[in-house]
Chains A and B, each alone.
Chain A
Amino acid sequence: MKKKVFTRFTAILFLIGLMTAIQYNTINEPDRRDTRDVWEVRQELSREKKLHSQLLSEIGTLDETLNKYNIAADESPEQALRETAGELRVAVGLAETTGPGFEVLVEPSMEAVALGLAIEGISPDLLIRLVNEINRYDALYVSIDGKRIINTTSIRDINGQTSVNAKPVETPPFSIKIISKSMDDAEKLYNHLLASRILDDFYIDNMSLAVSVPQSDMVIEAYDGIIDTKYLQAIEGE
């Protein structure tokens, strides 16, 4: 009888031990291992470094503004404010801007003209691809067919017509103006566009891109609409 009791106890204790060990294993699951190789770590590092330098340059700009305020505070605070407002208007796109850049002419391709095909307007998808391609190489300001691209610009199909800022884009030819940070950047973008695969995409739609040589005094029109700030709120505090 006694032996039977202990056999039972042994079986129960075995089960308890097993369950406790499984519970322990489950709860003390080791942290996920870092399996990135050197190359991935380097990429991560370069991303972080880029962010770092971007933040540093932003701090530099803000410091400069602060200095300007300090210097101008004694002389004319209004002037400093006016300058800042002017800079902000340029950054947002409410002012006509001049800078190093170039023009891209979207035309019907020669084959389409020779074959007498009907010339159709550019599709929104293709236009968005082109704008993305341009922005990838650090373009500062862009206007499409005289319509300035700002942060809230939409490129979409409205009643069968491709529209930018809700205004229709003409059928080709029309021009796209681009301004970069510097002449170097403008040339980089120019070379990139000349060799880009987007040319093939345009060719499929019976269009071609004529990229003009960068010039130092490209003029881009101001945004002519009203920027709706209904949902913006002032930050409280400082």
Chain B
Amino acid sequence: MWLSILGLLLGISLGLLTDMQIPPEYANYLSIAVLASLDTLFGGIRAHLQQVYDDKVFVSGFFFNIALAAGLAFLGVHLGVDLYLAAIFAFGVRLFQNIAVIRRIILAKWAEKKEVRETI
């Protein structure tokens, strides 16, 4: 778990320290990519907690989601329709659902532990 947080910090510091920038017109794509990876991450955590985690699903989901979202945004730009909103909406809804499920699982585990402790 701590390793994961270390990875996050490493990524942020690397990005900030190298002062990397992308052209402003691609900022939309990057924000969607961030959202897609967050969605994949929380999906993965939920699957792990429910013991249905599959490595292939996780990795393929990550890349496929990002590619699909970026493709939708690209198509939207060329059609003049804000299609990236669809991706943001879908990811946003799923993100909240996943977080809600994770919360419930953690709460249930916590209550279980407490019960076990009380019976002892």
Interface residues of A, Cβ cutoff 8 Å to B? 4-27, 29
Interface residues of B in 5-57 (CB under 8 A from A): 5-16, 19-24, 27, 30-31, 33-34, 37-38, 40-41, 44-45, 48, 53, 55
The listed residue (A17, A19, A26) touching B24 by CB distance below 8 A is: A26
Interface residue SS majority, chain B: helix
The count of residues in chain B whose C-beta lies closer than 8 Å to any C-beta of chain A is: 38
B binding-site residues for A, Cβ under 8 Å: 1, 3-16, 19-24, 27, 30-31, 33-34, 37-38, 40-41, 44-45, 48, 53, 55, 58-59, 62
CB distance A17 to B21 under 8 Å? no
Of all chain A residues, which has the CB nearest B20? A22
Question: Can you list 19 pairs linking A and B with CB atoms under 8 Å apart?
Answer: A4-B55, A6-B3, A7-B3, A8-B59, A10-B6, A13-B4, A13-B7, A14-B7, A14-B8, A14-B11, A15-B11, A16-B34, A17-B9, A17-B13, A19-B30, A22-B22, A25-B16, A26-B24, A27-B27
Partner of B16, one of A6, A12, A21, A27: A21
| Contact A29 to B37, CB < 8 A, known contacts A10-B3, A14-B8, A17-B8 | no
Instruction: Please name all residues of chain B whose beta carbon is closer than 8 Å to the beta carbon of A18 when the two chains form the complex.
Output: 11-12, 14-15
Asked if residues B45 and A9 are in contact (CB atoms below 8 Å), the reply is yes
